Structure 1
Amino acid sequence: MRSLFYLLILFLGVTYANAQPNWQGKFEQLGSELPTPNSYRSSSGAPGPNYWQQRADYDIDVELNDETQMITGRETVTYYNNSPETMRYLWMQLDQNKLSAGNMTDKTSNNIIRDSVPAKFLAEALGGYGYDYEGGYKINSVKDAATGKDLPFTINFTMMRIDLPAPLKTGETYKFSVAWSYREYDRMKYDERGGYEYFPDDDNRLYTCAQWFPRMCVFDDYEGWQNKQFLGRGEYALTFGNYKVRITVPSDFIVGATGWLQNPQEVLSKDQLERFNKAQKTFDKPVMIVTESEARKNEKSRSKKKSTWVFHSENVRDVAFAASRKFIWDAMAVKVGTKTPLAQSLYPKEGNPLWEKESTKAIKNTLEVYSARTFDYPYPTAYSVHTADQGMEYPMICFNYGRPNKDGSYSQRVLEGMVGVIVHEVGHNFFPMIVNSDERQWTWMDEGLNTFLERETVRTRYDGFDVTSGSPRGIVPFMKGDKNIMRPIMAQSDNQATSFGPNGYTKPSAALVLLRETIMGPEIFDKAFKEYSERWAFKHP
């Protein structure tokens, strides 16, 4: 009888086990998997009472040579150790080394050759672009700023370690300088984020200079030094600081950059200066600072003189700039809370009439909607710069595609694409330029949130535009796809394969739309979203 009883218990146990669903934890609470709260990061999701982050201030002189496309610079970095640890070395990012000989991107890429591959992509797949270009930084010196003595440094692909002459204790600062140079590349050949677009009809270049100087890596409480190489897809983890940047270019160039222009009276004509000042007080429509006719005339000039444009910025994590003699320039002020940031657009004649009509208006719409949903835009300006086949963001400045046909005509698709990319890239000022997540690790934390607010901006400001992308309906085709090639959203940026776009952008946005419109309701969701944004503004979530 006892044996029968045990057999019955065993049978019931097996039956119960077999009756359980194939549990995969899709809706399991994450409490046991989340990091333990501490004094740096609290259990509420807010920065803790002892939260800290590092700071790096930069003083930079850079010159762009339009004849050789060389960029030559010297920077002095003041590094603030706010951590509880003593530091014996520092790490910097050397993103231009992604294009150096023997770079890690070529070494780690999975090459796939298929039938009918265009020559450009075949060259990339074989571990190079097939063009005569020698990329990467030339580091001319790394010195102690006080003594002028050389500092030992080690370059590891896109990272550089600098050994300090003495331990840097908590609360101390250290100042050092780096001199460097590299040659800008034709972005239309290399499909990178910076570089230049060449216009053969008038023999001019439009430079969008990005990741152009060695930058401090993030050192934080949960990872220590951010040590992931720049392979191309995973973007940036950067330290906040203040910048003073002097950009020397040919005198017939117009320059836009992160920060506020400090010397307009030195680099602008009398008429341009009057228009620039007028734009700062004009809220109803853009003011033309450089007209198309003036830009066409300027295209033909070849000044041998140089001008230095000076920009200052505070509490930013990076600096980018655009420069060309082709630029048309318009601007208008935007009312955001108690501030009136200047929305500015720079574009060649090839962008008109579309850009003159839509670009600055799109900046205005973005700043207003995003500010209402997060926090008032804190910076003094926001640029939208037009160059072909690009959508890329940096603090206060972004580079955007959307070009009409040569006769000036354009389709609704081009219009919606151009407006969408401007809203998206200007919106990146909020995520991750201010709410400063680690893009190299988690794409969705900035791209997903930003795609959601991009859709909200287009939905509320552009009647009739398609807002399927980033919605639950828009993600259905991907979710119906081959599950064997899908990656988790939490996978690192460079390991997403074909899941990168949906996982980083549209799936998180679709989830946020679902939360707002169906599960939580707009009132509760908007309050929570705003709370997160305000908590982590100018911090590293």
Structure 2
Amino acid sequence: MSKKSLIKIFILIIALPHLGLLGQQELYMPRNIQSAYEEGTRSFNGMPGDNYWQNSSDYKIKVEVDPQENLLTGSEEITYYNNSPDTLTRIVIRLYQDILKKGGARDWSLPSDGVHDGVQISKVIIAGKEVDMEDRKNFNRSGTNLLITLNEVLHPNSQLYLSIDWNVYISDKVKIRMGAYDSTSFFIAYWYPQVAVYDDIDGWDRYNYSGQQEFYNDFSNFDVEIKVPNTFAVWGAGELQNPEELLNEKYLVRYNLAHQSEDVVRIVKEEDLTEGNIFNNLNEFNTWKYKADYVTDFPFALSDHYLWDGVSVIADSTTDRKVFVDAAYKIESEDFYDVANISKKSIQYFSFEMPGVPFPYPCLTAFNGSGGMEFPMMINDGSASTLAGTVGVTSHEIAHTYFPFYMGINESKYAFMDEGWAVMLPFKFQERMVDENYPRRRNVGSYQRFAGNETEMPPMIPSVLLKGHSYRTAAYSRPGIAYDFLREVLGDDLFTEALQEFIKQWNGKHPLPYD
């Protein structure tokens, strides 16, 4: 059988919603996706169409975190760019933390003390006019979405200016990708009112966030100022703009050294936390300023008692471009002391081996929280009990830099284009880093437990419709081993060449499985 035939079989197995369609000559294509090809925003050669477009936003956010009250208070100014050919009559704002709102729909039951009043909005201004938030017809909160009817329509190739003031409680009882890990350590994610995606497939993305499924965001620019008590460090997506205003001299020297050093620098050690005087204490509060350009989200974390390591790694040999890698972690962690180094080696592997594309961002922070969760330029991982576990979760979450973030994947619909790649890409790295480590075998075993069961669903079914084992099988193990099978069929060179071409054509955009 030819490689071309095997590839067709692979595509059919991974993609088709119904096995009965295997006998057809062409792949089934839903009509909303057909429409995009007819309109020329997509093309059948796998490249963006001549009429491809996507919208974006610029965010300027000022936020204050009160650790004593577990309260985040923010104000943001948003410039929204309508690059579509459509005239928009409303705008959709995501309020992700409404997942914890009393009475909200969620994928899991929560303790009564784990819910709160959701995102508290005090003011919305659009195009210079304050919005009447009591007008339920034109200001409608639905699930985790806020739908606002515009007084004046937003024409194609024009901009909309809006500002929002809000606050939200940071839960220490429920930590669904965000929360308080102790009284003075927090990871802040999906925390700001965010303009939803408007695209060429579905128009406004209005899927509610219920906990299990992940996200779909536009590429935007972020200018964020984070005000915290002067004993706290803040780690955020993007590059810190004012370290000299925040770090006292000894720590500023270490911080700058870490940006150049190929060996891990202990920026803040245990004895430093005991001595104190790490940060500027001229004022009661410090403001940490971060910028992140053309990314899909902005998370941050803070603590007054975390250790801090940093190291530099070359990610592009043609330009010698360096990536700053740091790790912030609990003193009692038994594995995170090596996570900066593991992260460095992961970035080298992804940049030069698989997928062999230079790490696309200037920095990456690994924060020692819980579980394993990815964000642009940040990962939030719990401590693992084995080296294989630490290497596995670290490399998996860093792999997400490419899928979904660099590639703009719609995770809420196509988790297999996100998690499946993050499973497969680091296989060889994970085996190399730990003796007798068999990630391929584990994923095959995971898939075998549910393969052929009536709960096994094709990965092409929108992920937001899947739950439990059906979701995890379709998102992780099945596509992960399918991608690896395709690599074996094509051979490393051809597979890598094809993957690199896909990344080249679609990075910074929103590819579909059909692309």
**TM-score interval, smaller chain:** 0.7 to 0.9
Which residue is equivalent to 1:350?
332
Letter in 1 for 2:238: G
- 8 Å CA contact 1:342, 1:382 repeated in 2: yes
Hey, what's the Cα distance between the residues in 1 that align with 2:296 and 2:325? 20
- 8 Å CA contact 1:54, 1:80 repeated in 2: yes
- 8 Å CA contact 1:62, 1:72 repeated in 2: yes
Which residue is equivalent to 2:357?
375
Q: Any unmatched runs of 5+ in structure 2?
A: 1-17
Hey, what's the Cα distance between the residues in 2 that align with 1:540 and 1:90? 20
Report whether the alignment pairs 1:433 with 2:405. yes
Report whether the alignment pairs 1:215 with 2:194. yes
Asked which structure has the greater CA Rg, the reply is 1
- Following TM superposition, by how much is the alpha carbon of 1:69 offset from its aligned partner in structure 2, in angstroms? 0.6
- 423, 428, 431: which one aligns with 1:451: 423
- Following TM superposition, by how much is the alpha carbon of 1:192 offset from its aligned partner in structure 2, in angstroms? 1.1
Letter in 2 for 1:271: K
- 8 Å CA contact 2:132, 2:139 repeated in 1: no
Q: How does 1:129-168 map to 2 (within 5 A)?
A: 129-131=111-113, 133-144=115-126, 146=128, 153-168=139-154
Which residue is equivalent to 1:19?
none
- 8 Å CA contact 1:142, 1:153 repeated in 2: no
| Residues 54-111 of structure 1, C-alpha deviations (whole Å, 9 max, x = no match) | 0111000000001101000001110001000111211111110011011122xxx5xx
Hey, what's the Cα distance between the residues in 2 that align with 1:484 and 1:471? 19
- 473, 490, 493: which one aligns with 2:460: 490
- Following TM superposition, by how much is the alpha carbon of 1:190 offset from its aligned partner in structure 2, in angstroms? 1.6
Moved more, 29-38 or 374-383: 29-38
Hey, what's the Cα distance between the residues in 1 that align with 2:346 and 2:50? 33
Hey, what's the Cα distance between the residues in 2 that align with 1:55 and 1:438? 15
- 8 Å CA contact 2:124, 2:130 repeated in 1: no
Which residue is equivalent to 2:14?
none
Report percent identity of matched pairs: 29
Q: Would the alpha carbon gap of residues 516 and 432 (structure 1) be closer, same or farther in structure 2, given more than 3 Å must change?
A: same
Letter in 1 for 2:339: S
- 467, 474, 481: which one aligns with 1:510: 481
Hey, what's the Cα distance between the residues in 1 that align with 2:458 and 2:99? 26
Hey, what's the Cα distance between the residues in 2 that align with 1:208 and 1:93? 19
- Following TM superposition, by how much is the alpha carbon of 1:28 offset from its aligned partner in structure 2, in angstroms? 5.0
3-state DSSP class of the match of 1:167?
Answer: strand
Hey, what's the Cα distance between the residues in 2 that align with 1:149 and 1:194? 29
Q: Any unmatched runs of 5+ in structure 1?
A: 1-21, 110-123, 199-203, 404-409
Which residue is equivalent to 1:539?
509
- 8 Å CA contact 1:144, 1:150 repeated in 2: no
- Following TM superposition, by how much is the alpha carbon of 1:398 offset from its aligned partner in structure 2, in angstroms? 1.1
- Following TM superposition, by how much is the alpha carbon of 1:296 offset from its aligned partner in structure 2, in angstroms? 4.4
Which residue is equivalent to 1:73?
74
- Following TM superposition, by how much is the alpha carbon of 1:468 offset from its aligned partner in structure 2, in angstroms? 3.1
Hey, what's the Cα distance between the residues in 1 that align with 2:74 and 2:90? 23
Hey, what's the Cα distance between the residues in 2 that align with 1:27 and 1:294? 67
Which residue is equivalent to 2:13?
none
3-state DSSP class of the match of 1:392?
Answer: strand
| Residues 492-532 of structure 1, C-alpha deviations (whole Å, 9 max, x = no match) | 32423322222101110101111111x21111111111111
Which residue is equivalent to 2:100?
99
Hey, what's the Cα distance between the residues in 1 that align with 2:114 and 2:57? 36
- 279, 294, 300: which one aligns with 2:272: 294
Letter in 1 for 2:166: W
Q: Would the alpha carbon gap of residues 331 and 145 (structure 1) be closer, same or farther in structure 2, given more than 3 Å must change?
A: farther
- Following TM superposition, by how much is the alpha carbon of 1:478 offset from its aligned partner in structure 2, in angstroms? 2.9
3-state DSSP class of the match of 1:350?
Answer: coil
Q: TM-score, normalised by structure 1?
A: 0.83
Hey, what's the Cα distance between the residues in 1 that align with 2:54 and 2:230? 40
Q: Would the alpha carbon gap of residues 280 and 59 (structure 1) be closer, same or farther in structure 2, given more than 3 Å must change?
A: same
Letter in 2 for 1:84: P
Report whether the alignment pairs 1:322 with 2:301. yes
- Following TM superposition, by how much is the alpha carbon of 1:371 offset from its aligned partner in structure 2, in angstroms? 2.4
Q: Would the alpha carbon gap of residues 532 and 181 (structure 1) be closer, same or farther in structure 2, given more than 3 Å must change?
A: same
Report whether the alignment pairs 1:395 with 2:364. no
Letter in 2 for 1:422: T
Moved more, 447-456 or 61-70: 447-456
Which residue is equivalent to 1:525?
495
Hey, what's the Cα distance between the residues in 1 that align with 2:395 and 2:447? 20
| Residues 32-75 of structure 1, C-alpha deviations (whole Å, 9 max, x = no match) | 53744342111011111221100111000000001101000001
- 8 Å CA contact 1:365, 1:461 repeated in 2: no
- 8 Å CA contact 2:114, 2:171 repeated in 1: no
Hey, what's the Cα distance between the residues in 1 that align with 2:495 and 2:278? 54
- 180, 187, 208: which one aligns with 1:196: 180
- Following TM superposition, by how much is the alpha carbon of 1:31 offset from its aligned partner in structure 2, in angstroms? 3.3
Q: Would the alpha carbon gap of residues 205 and 299 (structure 1) be closer, same or farther in structure 2, given more than 3 Å must change?
A: farther
Q: Would the alpha carbon gap of residues 56 and 290 (structure 1) be closer, same or farther in structure 2, given more than 3 Å must change?
A: same
**Structure with larger RCO (C-alpha < 8 A, sep 6+):** 2
Hey, what's the Cα distance between the residues in 1 that align with 2:141 and 2:284? 36
- Following TM superposition, by how much is the alpha carbon of 1:146 offset from its aligned partner in structure 2, in angstroms? 3.7
Aligned length: 477
- Following TM superposition, by how much is the alpha carbon of 1:473 offset from its aligned partner in structure 2, in angstroms? 5.5
Which residue is equivalent to 1:477?
449
| Residues 250-309 of structure 1, C-alpha deviations (whole Å, 9 max, x = no match) | 1110110011000001111111111111111111x11111112213455999x8811100
Hey, what's the Cα distance between the residues in 2 that align with 1:47 and 1:300? 49
3-state DSSP class of the match of 2:450?
Answer: helix
Hey, what's the Cα distance between the residues in 2 that align with 1:300 and 1:363? 25
Which residue is equivalent to 1:309?
288
Letter in 1 for 2:252: L
Q: Would the alpha carbon gap of residues 375 and 134 (structure 1) be closer, same or farther in structure 2, given more than 3 Å must change?
A: same
Letter in 2 for 1:395: P
Q: TM-score, normalised by structure 2?
A: 0.87
